[in-house]
Amino acid sequence: MDPFILNLITSPVLWLTIVILYTLKKGVYFVPQNRGYVVYTLGKYTKTLSAGLNFIVPYVQSVAADRNLKEQSLEIISQPAITKDNITLEIDGILFMKVTDAAAATNNITDYKLSVIQLAMTSMRNAIGSMELDECFQNRDAINAQILSSMTEATAPWGVMVTRYEIKDITPPQTIREDMEKQMTAEREKRSVILTAEGVKISAITEAEGQKRARVLDAEAAKAEQVLAAEASKEAQILEATGKAEAIRLVATADANALEVVGQVANTEQGKAAVTLTLAQDAISAHQAIASESTIVLTDGKTGDNIANTVAQAIAVSSSLKLSE
């Protein structure tokens, strides 16, 4: 062997340097973020090293455990659970937890992950056992909350906090699945019948409302027609009465004008003679009418003088009218 290498190997300085470097390595620790190093001093817990640069006493102190402080997920394998109504279900889930105290997770429990999984399985069976089959399917949130509540209290001394628990699948036996499918089919048919009945009911109600509305509109139209007819009749009667009144007024006016003209003409010599002649003719016509109506005519024996007397009477009446003017 080369004397230089031999001297180097046997040199106490070299060995002393190696020992010093190894000692420094044993006493200096760089702890990553979200990690916790549990330190024992001569086999007794001393402290927990946090993230960053840390120093311990070599050979006297040692790192007994390295704990992950991040939130972790643990899968709960499928397992049988019996419901309150004695139905066996296959159920699995997933659990979320984190180590809050690295020292407790090291000193108070042998394997905190295995213990949390076993506790979750037990809690899940207890929760399922307190419910019937239908409740298990309908109240998953209640089951999760019950499991989480029981585990939070149990894992606190271990330095572990269970943050969430979720059921993944609930699998009933084959016979129960078949019964459930039949029940679901019956339920769907029931809903279909109910919806059909509701549709028929709504249709009938709508049709009745339409007929009612149509009758109301017909009644309103008939009423309006009667009102219009009454108003038209009223207007017609008013117009007829107005026309008759106007006709009477016009006739009266015409008669008055005729009388006025007759009076004016009768006031002349020719008019007087004409009036006298007219009166005489009317008297003769009256006597003729009486004679034609009866086979017996009563006179005073002076029949020949009757006409003359009548004419004289007419002349006298005409003279009296002239005097009155």
pLDDT in tens, 99-148: 999 999 999 998 999 999 999 999 999 999 988 888 888 888 889 999 99
Give pLDDT tens digits for 182-225. 888 888 888 888 988 888 889 889 889 888 888 888 888 888 88
Give pLDDT tens digits for 235-292. 888 888 888 888 888 888 877 777 777 667 666 776 666 666 676 667 677 666 766 7
Taking every pair of Cα atoms in the chain, the longest distance, rounded to a whole number of angstroms, is 214
DSSP bridge pairs for 81: 89
Tell me which residue of 169, 168, 162, 123 sits closest to 146, measured CA to CA: 123
How, if at all, do strands 88-99 and 71-82 pair? antiparallel
E strand or H helix at 152, and its extent?
helix 140-155
Tell me: pLDDT of 158 over 70: yes
Decide: helix, strand or coil at residue 296.
Answer: coil
Tell me: pLDDT of 321 over 60: no
Give pLDDT tens digits for 44-91. 999 999 888 999 888 888 899 999 999 999 999 988 999 888 888 999
* Residue that the structure tokens 């939130």 belong to: 71
Confidence band of 157 (pLDDT split at 50, 70, 90): very high
Answer for the pair 162, 97: CB distance below 8 angstroms, yes or no: yes
Answer for the pair 263, 321: CB distance below 8 angstroms, yes or no: no
Q: Give the separation between CA 322 and CA 145, rounded to whole angstroms.
A: 134
Tell me which residue of 180, 122, 182, 173 sits closest to 151, measured CA to CA: 122
SS3 labels along 176-220: HHHHHHHHHHHHHHHHHHHHHHHHHHHHHHHHHHHHHHHHHHHHH
Residue 255 has a pLDDT of 74
Non-local (6+) Cβ contacts of 135 within 8 A are: 142
* Residue that the structure tokens 């004397």 belong to: 3
CA-derived radius of gyration, the chain: 67
Whole-prediction pTM value?
Answer: 0.53
Tell me which residue of 151, 131, 153, 149 sits closest to 140, measured CA to CA: 131
